[in-house]
Amino acid sequence: MSEVEVTLREAIPDDAAELLQISRQIAKETDYLIMDEVGLGLTEEMLSLQLADLYESENNLLLLAFADGKIVAMASVKAAPEFTVSHIGEIGISVLKDFWGIGLGTALLDEVIYWSENASPLHRLELTVQKRNERAIHLYQKFGFETEAVMERGARDARGDFLDVLLMSKLIN
Amino acid sequence: MSEVEVTLREAIPDDAAELLQISRQIAKETDYLIMDEVGLGLTEEMLSLQLADLYESENNLLLLAFADGKIVAMASVKAAPEFTVSHIGEIGISVLKDFWGIGLGTALLDEVIYWSENASPLHRLELTVQKRNERAIHLYQKFGFETEAVMERGARDARGDFLDVLLMSKLIN
C-alpha cells in the first residue's frame, strides 16, 4: 500500500451498519483488544441511537478514518456523565489490519488530543494497553502518556494465559 | 448503636425498589462515591431485570446486608462477559451512614473474597478508592489488596478540585 488518502470525521448515526461490520472484523484480526469495543453486541438500531448521543456529547468522541469512502480505523474517547469523573476520557483506538503501519494511529491520536485540549471539558485522558503491544505503547508515549500502573492479570489471551496490562494517562489543561 | 443483628444475602429482582431508594440515600450521604453505583439512573423495572441477570451470573455478585429487615449496606463484584477480561472482578462497597463503623465493610468484603475464591471463576479483584478515604484503604489493605497506581485527577470533589484515586488489586487463585 503506497498512497492512501485518508479523511477523518466524527461518527454520525448513519455510520451504524458499517461500524458494526468493521468492529467485528477488527475484533477478529487482533489479539490486543480488551473489551467494550464499539458496537459489538449491539443491534444496528441501538448503535445508531448511541451514535446520536455520542455526537451530541461534549466529553465523548468517536472519530472515524475513511479511505476510499470506507471506514478503516477509529478512535473513541469515553467519559461518564457524573461530575465526579466527567473530566476523565478513556481512549480506544483500532485500525483494520490492512491499514496498520501507515500512521493512522498517530493521525487519530493527534486529533483526539487536539479535540481534548481545545473542544472538550476533559482534564485527564487514560487508556489501558496490553504490555506486549509495544507498538501501541510507543505511540502513546510519543504523545506524552505515562504509565501509572502495570496491572497484573489485567487480561488473558485465547489460551487463558494471563497478560500484564498498562494503565497510562495524560493530563489535559 | 450498640447491638445490631445483620444478615447477608444475594440480591434478587424483588429488591429493586428498596435498592434504588437506598442507593440514592447513600449517594447523598458520602463524597467518596465515584460512579456507576447500583441502580442510579435506572427505573425499578430495568434494575429488576439487571438483578435477575446478576443473580444468574457466575462472575458477578450483588451482596446485600440487612438490619431489621432493611437494606443497610451492599457490596458488588462486576465482571465483563468477554473471556479476555471475565476473570477480573471490580469491587464496590457502600454502607448507609447510620451503620458506619460497626464492621459492615469488613463483613461484606470477607464474604466477597470467600465467594471470589470458592464460588467464582475470578482470578483478579480490583477497585478504585479516593486517596483521602483512609478508612476504606485500610480495610482493603487488611484483606491483602495492594496499590497498583495513584491515578492523578482520578476524581474531583463537588467544588471541582481534583483528587487522587488509588487503583488497588488482589490476585485470587
Report chain B residues whose CB lies below 8 A from the CB of A28: none
Pick the CATH number of B6-171 from 3.40.50.300, 3.40.630.30, 3.40.50.170, 3.10.20.30: 3.40.630.30
**DSSP summary character for residue B99:** G
- Cβ atoms of residues B154 and B104 within 8 Å: no
Among B116, B112, B155, B148, CA closest to B133: B155
Residue of B nearest to A85 (CA): B155
Among A101, A112, A105, A95, CA closest to A170: A112
CA dihedral for A102, A108, A110, A111, sign (positive or negative):
positive
**DSSP summary character for residue B26:** H
pLDDT score of A119: 96
User: Which of A34, A123, A148 faces B84 most closely, judged by CB atoms?
Assistant: A34
C-alpha A131/C-alpha A37 separation (Å) is 19
- How many percent of chain B have pLDDT more than 70? 94
- Which of A40, A78, A156, A171 to mutate to probe the B interface, most B CBs <10 Å? A156
C-alpha B111/C-alpha B75 separation (Å) is 9
Report chain B residues whose CB lies below 8 A from the CB of A126: 151
Helix (H) or strand (E) segment spanning residue B19: helix B16-29
- Name which residue leads in pLDDT, A119 or B34: A119
- A153/B88 Cβ within 8 A: yes
**3-class DSSP string for chain A:** CCCCCEEEEECCHHHHHHHHHHHHHHHHHCCCCCCCCCCCCCCHHHHHHHHHHHHHCCCCEEEEEEECCEEEEEEEEECCCCCCCCCEEEEEEEECHHHCCCCHHHHHHHHHHHHHHHHCCCCEEEEEEECCCHHHHHHHHHCCCEEEEEEEEEEECCCCCEEEEEEEEEECC
Q: What is the ipTM of this complex?
A: 0.90
C-alpha A144/C-alpha A130 separation (Å) is 18
Supply A26's cell numbers: 477488527
- B167/A151 Cβ within 8 A: yes
- A35/B82 Cβ within 8 A: yes
Q: What DSSP assignment string belongs to B28-65?
A: HH-S---S--TTTT--HHHHHHHHHHHHH-SS-EEEEE
- A151/B169 Cβ within 8 A: yes
Beta strands B88-95 and B124-130: pairing type? parallel
Whether residue B1 is predicted with pLDDT greater than 70 in this model: the reply is: no
- B153/A148 Cβ within 8 A: no
C-alpha A62/C-alpha B144 separation (Å) is 39
pLDDT in tens, A89-117: 999 999 999 999 899 999 999 999 999 99
pLDDT in tens, B70-81: 999 999 999 999
Contacts for B89 with CB less than 8 Å, ≥ 6 apart: B59, B60, B61, B77, B78, B79, B116, B120, B122, B124, B125, B126
C-alpha B69/C-alpha B71 separation (Å) is 7
Mean pLDDT along residues A158-171? 97
Report chain B residues whose CB lies below 8 A from the CB of A85: 34-35, 154-156
What does pTM read for this prediction? Answer: 0.90
Shortest CA gap B144–chain A (Å): 15
pLDDT score of A32: 72
- Which of B82, B128, B129, B166 to mutate to probe the A interface, most A CBs <10 Å? B82
Domain ranges of chain B: 6-171
Of A1-5, A80-84, B76-80, the one with minimum mean pLDDT is A1-5
User: Which of B34, B151, B162 faces A169 most closely, judged by CB atoms?
Assistant: B151
Report chain B residues whose CB lies below 8 A from the CB of A151: 126, 148, 167, 169
CATH class of the domain whose range is A6-122: alpha beta
- Name which residue leads in pLDDT, B38 or A66: A66
